[in-house]
């Protein structure tokens, strides 16, 4: 549906996007996740047709819309965009905003599409109101309805929840997901917030410094990050020092201050006997008073059902994060016996 091949983009002299490839199947919701300044907005604007490419191609439904030689104008692209600040036309009503892109259709067709979209976005009673009379969530739905109205091949959403109240974001994100799935539209959203990405997207591309680090499902990003950046950026976690060594009946083990763990795949020869960093997620621990690994509580943050502890391993001086059910109530300074249970051994 959407296919990006080896894209390079420069703004002025500065190269923003280095060699990005990505594809999105019809009806899927994709997400570009990354810290600010990683180039995700630039990539989105290039797909929309606001920025030309230096190299590579962008194909929508098999048709090349952007390449170094070719650049189909924004107005001809059939790409819908939902802007960060929604960019609703303040002097037009909700209804007029939504039908704005249907100028080539007859009034009846416009009316039919409007009724359908108003119904879908639960905005029927607001059709004659002006944008400033609506709440943030309603304005967002108008923006989405307006972008969906001309039935674009692909819908792009630029940080769609950043203008909304944080406490509402997750539930709104679910509503939007239902809406997009109902319309069956292929969508790509960009965000810096992983919760939003996890809620709404089928597949997430983690971006860093102009390239894609990993393109995978939320589960895989969390449990099987392929790069140090992804491991660090997605989810909470700490790294502890280790060393990969040869061991009988396995591909090898990684030795750390908190135990030895068998690696899943045979490491390259060069990796043996080198320092490595093992990823430890807060949910990888079990409490075991008799464990040989004793740690001291140096911080705790109460989170209702759970408490997030910061433990320090006295022998090695390394800190780890550990999420335990609330009934494990340890005060700062107490010593706890723990054991690491790693389902996925991820090291770099």
Partner 1 sequence: MAITSVFTSLGRSFVTSMIAVLRDTWFVSALCLCALLGVPIIAILWSFTDISLPLWTHLIDTNLSLYIGNSLLLALGVGIGSGVLGVSLAWCVTQYEFWGRSWFQWALLLPLAMPAYIMAYTYTGLFDDLGWFDSRSLIGAIAFMSLVLYPYVFMLAKTAFSGQQQQYQEVAATLGITRSAYFLKIALPIARPAVLTGVALAMMEALADYGTVAFFGISTFTTGIFRTWFGMGEMQLASQLAGGLALFVLVVLGLEKHSRRNMRFYQTQDLPVNKDTSARARSTKSLSVQSSISHYALSAYCLSVLLLAFIVPVTQLCVWALSTLEHIDVTEYWTLLVNSFSLALFSSILIVLIALCLSYAQRFAKTKSVGYLTQFAALGYAIPGTVLAIGILQPFGWLDEQLNYVWYQWFGEYIGLVFSGTFVALFFAYCVRFLSVAMHNTQTGLERIKPNIDDAVLTLGRGRLSLMRRIHFPLLRKSLLAASILVFVDVLKELPATLILRPFNFNTLAVKAFEYAADERLIAAAMPSVTIVIIGIIPVIMLTRAMQQN
Query: Considering the complex, what minimum distance in angstroms separates the CB of residue 111 from partner 1?
Result: 17
Give me the residues paired with residue 7 across strands. Answer: 20
Which residue number, 104 or 331, has a Cβ lying nearer to partner 1?
Answer: 104
Q: Which is nearer to partner 1, 105 or 232 (CB)?
A: 105
What is the nearest approach in angstroms of partner 1 to the Cβ of residue 207? 21
Q: Are 39 and 33 in contact (CB under 8 A)?
A: no
Q: In the complex with partner 1, which residue's Cβ is closer, 5 or 283?
A: 5
Name the residue nearer to partner 1 (CB basis): 49 or 225.
Answer: 49
Q: Which is nearer to partner 1, 1 or 10 (CB)?
A: 10
- The residue (of 49 and 56) whose beta carbon lies closer to partner 1 is 49
Q: Which helix (H) or strand (E) holds 172?
A: helix 166-183
| Cβ at position 156, least distance to partner 1 in Å | 8
The residue (of 111 and 226) whose beta carbon lies closer to partner 1 is: 111
56, 4 in Cβ contact below 8 A? Answer: yes
Cα 40 to Cα 32: distance, rounded to the nearest angstrom: 6
Two tokens, residue 104: 């080539």
DSSP, res 193: -
Residue 186 near residue 24, CB atoms below 8 Å: yes
| Residue nearer to partner 1 on the CB measure, 187 or 307 | 187
CB of residue 92 to partner 1, shortest distance in Å:
8
Q: Which candidate, 284, 278, 282, places its Cα nearest to that of 257?
A: 278
Distance CA 81, CA 156 (A): 5
Query: Is residue 145 helix, strand or coil?
Result: helix
Count other Cβ atoms within 10 Å, centred on residue 26: 12
Structure tokens that stand for 168 in this block: 């509402």
- In the bound complex, what is the minimum distance in angstroms from residue 74's beta carbon to partner 1? 4
**What distances in angstroms separate CA 180 from CA 141, 144, 212, 257, 274, one per listed residue?**
11, 9, 25, 48, 48
Q: Which residues bind partner 1 (CB under 8 A)?
A: 48-50, 52, 68-69, 74-81, 83-85, 87, 89-91, 100-101, 103-104, 146-147, 150
Q: What are phi and psi of 193, to 5 degrees?
A: -105, 115
CB of 162 to partner 1, least distance (A): 13
Residues 322 and 281 sit within 8 Å (Cβ to Cβ): no
| Closest distance to partner 1 from the beta carbon of 308 (Å) | 32
Min separation Cβ 97 and partner 1, Å: 9
Report the C-alpha gap between 98 and 117 in whole angstroms.
8
Answer for the pair 164, 172: CB distance below 8 angstroms, yes or no.
yes
């Amino acid at each position: 549906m959407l296919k990006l091949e080896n894209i390079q983009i420069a703004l002025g002299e500065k190269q923003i996007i280095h060699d990005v490839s990505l594809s999105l199947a019809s009806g899927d919701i994709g997400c570009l996740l990354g810290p600010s300044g990683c180039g995700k907005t630039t990539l989105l604007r290039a797909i929309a047709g606001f920025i030309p490419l230096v190299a590579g191609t962008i194909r929508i439904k098999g048709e090349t819309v952007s390449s170094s030689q070719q650049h189909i104008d924004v107005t001809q692209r059939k790409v819908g965009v939902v802007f960060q600040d929604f960019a609703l036309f303040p002097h037009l009503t909700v209804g007029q905003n939504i039908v704005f892109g249907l100028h080539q259709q007859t009034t009846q067709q416009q009316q039919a599409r409007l009724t359908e979209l108003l119904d879908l976005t639960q905005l029927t009673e607001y059709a004659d109101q002006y944008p400033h009379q609506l709440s943030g969530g309603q304005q967002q739905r108008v923006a989405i309805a307006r972008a969906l109205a001309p039935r674009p091949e692909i819908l792009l959403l630029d940080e769609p929840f950043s203008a909304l109240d944080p406490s509402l974001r997750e539930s709104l994100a679910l509503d939007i997901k239902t809406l997009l799935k109902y319309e069956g539209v292929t969508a790509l959203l960009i965000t810096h917030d992983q919760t939003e990405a996890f809620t709404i997207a089928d597949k997430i591309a983690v971006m860093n410094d102009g390239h894609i680090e990993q393109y995978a499902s939320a589960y895989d990003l969390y449990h099987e990050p392929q790069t140090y950046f992804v491991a660090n950026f997605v989810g909470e976690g700490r790294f502890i020092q280790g060393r990969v060594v040869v061991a009988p009946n396995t591909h090898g083990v990684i030795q750390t201050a908190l135990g030895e763990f068998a690696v899943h795949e045979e490491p390259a020869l060069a990796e043996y006997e080198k320092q490595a960093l093992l990823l430890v997620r807060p949910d990888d621990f079990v409490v075991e008073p008799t464990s040989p690994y004793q740690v001291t509580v140096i911080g705790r943050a109460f989170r209702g059902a759970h408490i997030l502890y910061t433990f320090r391993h006295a022998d090695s001086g390394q800190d780890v994060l550990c999420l335990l059910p609330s009934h494990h109530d340890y005060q700062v300074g107490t010593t706890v016996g723990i054991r690491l249970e790693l389902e996925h051994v991820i090291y770099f």
